[in-house]
Amino acid sequence: MKVTFQIENAGPVIIDANPGDNLLELARRANVAIDAPCSGNGSCGKCRVKLLEGQLDTIPSRHISDEEFSEGWRLSCNCKVVGDVTVLVPDIASAYQSRMKTADLSSPQEVAIFTACQDSLKEAGIAFTNSCRAVTVTVAEPTLDDTMPDNERLTWALQEALGVDKVRIPYTVMTRLASTLRENGFTVCVKGMVEDDIFTCMDICAPDDRKIVGCAIDIGTTTVTMVLCDLETGELLAKGSSGNGQIRYGADVINRIIESSRTGGRKKLQDAIVKETLTPIIANLCKTAGISARSILRLCIGANTTMNHLLLGVDADPVRMEPYIPSFFSWEGLTAQDLKLPANPLAPILIAPNIGSYVGGDITAGTLAAGLWNCDEMRLFIDLGTNGELVFGNRDFLMSCACSAGPAFEGGDISCGMRATDGAIEAATIDADTMEPSFTVIGEPGQKVVGICGSGIIDIISELFRTGIINARGLFAREGSRVKRDQHGMGRYVLAAPEESETGREVAINEVDIDNFIRAKGAIFSAIETLLNSVDMTVDMIDTVYVAGGIGSGINMKNAVNIGMFPDVELEKFQYIGNSSLTGAYAMTVSDQAAAKCTEVAANMTYLELSTYPGYMDSFVAACFLPHTNAGLFPNCNRF
């Protein structure tokens, strides 16, 4: 029998199937992209397809309403094939594309964070210089009396201009040498890098094409963010982000590793990040910045250990299996041509070093940016990505750990969750009496609601709890026009009716969402508690809490404390520092010394494995309440 995937905005893909085949599995076999963050266990509700012709044997799902079911909507992971069938697949590629943003640079806060990081690193004695160079040289024009070949001619000119001992001209430059020299009257701009008194030519251009560019990339499990910067001045040239294309192979690192271990999986996962995600963003940013991809002479990646392995197409299975051995923590030697990224083929790709299977380069780069390695005070650094990672310490010691908080902070695992982009509720309050919400939506004035991002969820849950609408277990305790229940009695709080939303679908938060979020925040809190405990310290010894990650700058620290996510310390101690992985990667891109410092920081960081640490599970269970089973830990908590 035949299954036809009718892909939105594209043609049909037809695959042979046997009765009983799972529809999501078939889609993967046919290389049809279906968003499936939970990797097909029915929990996330994202792998929707619409039945157009034929029948499917379907397990009912709470994610599909009766009305939607009658319209043909199904979760592909819940469907078995029984005969010829045609389904419509929403176009996730174009969804990624439309979600890609390249105009974020205008945000003064973003720029301020970059500037602050740069300033604090400079204060710490880190020079913002690197080994890349653009140099314009005039080469002696050959005559019948001076028949030296082109490469020697260029070598002499570069030795003189740069004062270097040796010049290397790689193949990619050699093939363009003769014509570029002659097209430009023997005056050319040569781009390259100096190392150990050797200049390696990376590009040969017209004399006015002088820009040399760096590319800093944060590869999150859920979101990828990138900046292009001028390698001479450090100036930001363009910024963009998009969802990580691997998300259709699972929302978390474990599911992705499992997918990558299947036949052809490493290539698929690598293609999803390299070809489908990084390549279009880089191309887009080059266009925005008005530069050619060949001008990108250096890249730096801040990513967790698994993302780094999947990016390189390296076997990640040993990371997941006892004794949890990655192929590498730190590794030098990657170039853009290895991954076929649109950049100068010889451009080195620096990888911020990992320090454990679950504390990766995003955290070491973030620690670099957060300056823990250079402060006297005790600083707690919290990165809220798809996992939560923590680093605690100062210039004398650095302790780190990871907890599987899941993707809730980035809007994952939440029925109406989304990332902090246009249409997301990023902040909210609820009137205790009327139970009516007021909220802020990201975007232009008049932007209608699409969903709720991490900071919005914190606010809503905090407010629902403060106003007594939900209890300490996250179950609805008050009734009202905003509180609805489905046929199974599951409560939800409606923020926008279908007619008020951008998509025509209701935007609400339900008890399952709240439960997911309570487990996520409980993981974070218990990790903080355990990490401090491991060094015999308590929350009152923390001088500063740096919060980073995709949760967004809208995070209300008071509410985060209120729900027991962060420890109950003075609010002035909290500081949101944005995407610190990207900030660190940016510093490493522009500064050789910052890159070296990151390696040093990684070498000095101790990793605490929480899953085997005594007491962690008890601490986690105790934290899965609002704000905590031991309310005495949260004396300042606002509640009904």
What's the min distance (Å) between Cβ of 162 and a copy of itself? 18
Whole-number Å distance between alpha carbons of 329 and 544: 28
Q: Is 431 in the site for a copy of itself (CB under 8 A)?
A: no
Q: Is 263 in the site for a copy of itself (CB under 8 A)?
A: no
Beta carbons of 413 and 428 less than 8 angstroms apart: no
Nearer to a copy of itself among residue 168 and residue 395 (C-beta): 168
Could you tell me which stretch among 323-331, 379-387, 521-529, 559-567 binds a copy of itself (CB under 8 A)? 323-331
What's the min distance (Å) between Cβ of 333 and a copy of itself? 5
Q: Is 174 in the site for a copy of itself (CB under 8 A)?
A: yes
Among 194, 314, 375, 537, binds a copy of itself (CB under 8 A): 314
**56: amino acid identity, one letter:** L
Q: Is 148 in the site for a copy of itself (CB under 8 A)?
A: yes
Could you tell me which stretch among 73-81, 148-156, 502-510, 558-566 binds a copy of itself (CB under 8 A)? 148-156
Nearer to a copy of itself among residue 187 and residue 471 (C-beta): 187
Whole-number Å distance between alpha carbons of 9 and 97: 13
Whole-number Å distance between alpha carbons of 314 and 30: 23
What's the min distance (Å) between Cβ of 33 and a copy of itself? 24
Q: Is 152 in the site for a copy of itself (CB under 8 A)?
A: yes
What's the min distance (Å) between Cβ of 364 and a copy of itself? 14
Nearer to a copy of itself among residue 10 and residue 178 (C-beta): 178
Whole-number Å distance between alpha carbons of 244 and 49: 21
Q: Is 326 in the site for a copy of itself (CB under 8 A)?
A: yes
Count of residues in contact with a copy of itself, rule CB under 8 A: 43
Q: Is the peptide bond before 627 cis (omega within 30 degrees of 0)?
A: yes
Q: Is 175 in the site for a copy of itself (CB under 8 A)?
A: yes
Nearer to a copy of itself among residue 223 and residue 308 (C-beta): 308
Q: Is the peptide bond before 348 cis (omega within 30 degrees of 0)?
A: no
Classify the phi-psi angles of 324: left when phi > 0, otherwise alpha if psi is within -120 to 50, otherwise beta.
Answer: left
Whole-number Å distance between alpha carbons of 36 and 58: 17
Whole-number Å distance between alpha carbons of 54 and 308: 42
Nearer to a copy of itself among residue 73 and residue 328 (C-beta): 328
Whole-number Å distance between alpha carbons of 47 and 249: 11
Q: Is the C-alpha dihedral spanning 627, 628, 631, 636 positive or negative? A: negative
Backbone angles phi, psi at 383, to 5 degrees: -110, 115
What's the min distance (Å) between Cβ of 588 and a copy of itself? 19
Task: Show contacts with a copy of itself in window 328-347 (CB under 8 A).
Answer: 328-329, 331-335, 338
What's the min distance (Å) between Cβ of 598 and a copy of itself? 17
Across-strand partners of 425? 441, 452
Q: Is 614 in the site for a copy of itself (CB under 8 A)?
A: no
Q: Is 206 in the site for a copy of itself (CB under 8 A)?
A: no
**Residue 538 buriedness (CB in 10 A; 0-12 / 13-18 / 19+):** exposed
Q: Which x/- pattern over 352-371 shows residues binding a copy of itself (rule: CB under 8 A)? A: ----xx--------------
Which of 390-427 are b and which e, b meaning 16 or more Cβ less than 10 Å from the residue's Cβ?
A: bbbbbeeebbbbbbbbbbbbbbbbbbbbbbbbbbbbbb
Nearer to a copy of itself among residue 20 and residue 333 (C-beta): 333
Question: Which residues sit at the interface with a copy of itself, rule CB under 8 A?
Answer: 142-144, 146-152, 168-172, 174-175, 177-179, 182, 312-315, 317-318, 322-329, 331-335, 338, 356-357
